[in-house]
Structure 1
C-alpha cells in the first residue's frame, strides 16, 4: 500500500513556489526510492479526523500560500496534529499559523492573530515585516545545536529563501519560549526564522521555504527528514 502525506493548503497554479514544492515531492521519492502519495487538500474541506484516522495519512505539510481560504480550519488541523503527535512541517504561511495555534492553545493568548488577515487583533503574533522578503534570501545562523535543524543540516548556517511579507512578532518570543517553543535560527538583523517543539516527533516551522533551495540532485534535507519521520523510515 502506498503511504500518504497530506499537504494542507490552497493550491494556486500562478505561484511558482507551490510548483517547486510539488517538484520537491517527486525528487524526494527518487532519493528515498519509495513511492509516496502527496495530496493537496484545500483548507476549507480538510477534516483532520477523517484525513488521519480514516484515510491514514502519515504526516502534515502546511504549505505556503496564506491568506488561506479557511484560517480557522488550518489552526484546528495544526492543533490536532500537534496534540496527536503527527509529524508536521510548515513553511511561510504554515510557519505563521503554527505559531498562532501554539500561542492560542498552549500559551493561552486567545486573541493571537495575523496582521495580514486580522490587523485589529490585540495580539499580533504575526506582523508585517519592515522589509518584504518576497523573492529574497539570507544567511541564517543556527542557534540551537540540539535542534532537529542542526542535527539534520550539521552546519552552523543555512541559506533561507523566502516569498513572504509577514513574520513573527519578536515581542512574543519569550512568552512562546516559556511554553516550550524552541527557536532554532536567526537572521543577521536578529529576527527568528524557524522553530520546533522538542517533545514532539517532528513539529517544525520555517519562515523560509526549503523547497526553494531544493534540487533534483539534492532535495532539501529538512524535507527528506520530515518525510522520514512521517513514514518512520
Structure 2
C-alpha cells in the first residue's frame, strides 16, 4: 500500500517555490527508497476527518502561499493535527498560521490574527516585517540543542532562504513560550525563524523554506525527518 502525505495549500504554478517543494518531495523518495504519495489539497476543501481518518494520510505539510483561500480551514486543520499527534510541518505561510492557531487555541488569544489578512486586528501575532525577506537569505543560529531542528541538522548555524514579508510579532513571544512553544532558531538581528512544541511526534514551523536549500543529491534533512516521522506515526490518538 502506498503511504500518503497531505500538502495543505493552494497550488499556483506561477510560484517557483511550490515547484521546488514538489521537486524535494520526489527527491526524498529516492533517498528513503520508498514510494510515497504527496497530494495537494486546497485549503477551501480540506476536511481533516476525511483526510486523516478515511483516507489515512500520515502527515500534514502546510505549504507556503499565504494568503490562503480559506484561512479558517488552515487553522482548523492545524488544530486537528496538533491535538491528534499527527506530524505537521509548516513553512513560510504554514509557520505563520501554526503560530496563530497555537495563540488562539492554547494561549487563549482568540482573536489572534495576521496583518496581511486583517490589518486592523489589534491582536496581530503575525506582522509585516520591517524588511521584506522575499528572495532573501540569512544565517540563522540554532538556539535549542534538544530540538528536532538541532538534533536533525547537528549544526550551530544554517542558511535560511525565504520568500515572505511577514513574521512573528515579538511582543507575543513570551506568552507563546509560557504555553509550551519552543523557538529553535534566531536571525543575526534577533528575530525568531522557527519553532516546535514538545510532546508531539513532529510539530515544527519554519519561516524559511527548507525546500529552497534542498538538492537532488542532498534533500533537506529536516524534510526527510518530517517524512520519516509521518510514516512512523501509527499510534496517533484521534479525538
Q: Deviations over 1:136-168 (max 9, x none)?
A: 000000000000000000000110000000000
The structural deviation recorded for 1:199 is 1.0
- Provide the rounded CA distance (Å) in 1 between the counterparts of 2:73 and 2:2: 27
Question: 1:81 and 2:81 equivalent?
Answer: yes
- Provide the rounded CA distance (Å) in 1 between the counterparts of 2:72 and 2:209: 22
Question: Taking structure 2 as the reference length, what is the TM-score of the superposition?
Answer: 0.97
Map 1:156-171 → 2, pairs under 5 A: 156-171=156-171
Q: Which residue of 2 aligns with 1:200?
A: 200
- Provide the rounded CA distance (Å) in 1 between the counterparts of 2:145 and 2:199: 16
Q: Which residue of 2 aligns with 1:7?
A: 7
Q: Which residue of 2 aligns with 1:143?
A: 143
Unaligned runs of 5+ in 2: 234-239
Question: 1:130 and 2:126 equivalent?
Answer: no
Q: Deviations over 1:105-143 (max 9, x none)?
A: 000001100000000111100000000000000000000
Question: Taking structure 1 as the reference length, what is the TM-score of the superposition?
Answer: 0.99
Show structure 1 runs of 4+ deviating over 3 A: none
- Provide the rounded CA distance (Å) in 2 between the counterparts of 1:162 and 1:35: 29
- Provide the rounded CA distance (Å) in 1 between the counterparts of 2:93 and 2:214: 19
Unaligned runs of 5+ in 1: none
The CA RMSD measured in Å over matched residues stands at 0.6
Map 1:34-53 → 2, pairs under 5 A: 34-53=34-53
Q: Deviations over 1:165-211 (max 9, x none)?
A: 00000110000000000000000000000000011100000000000
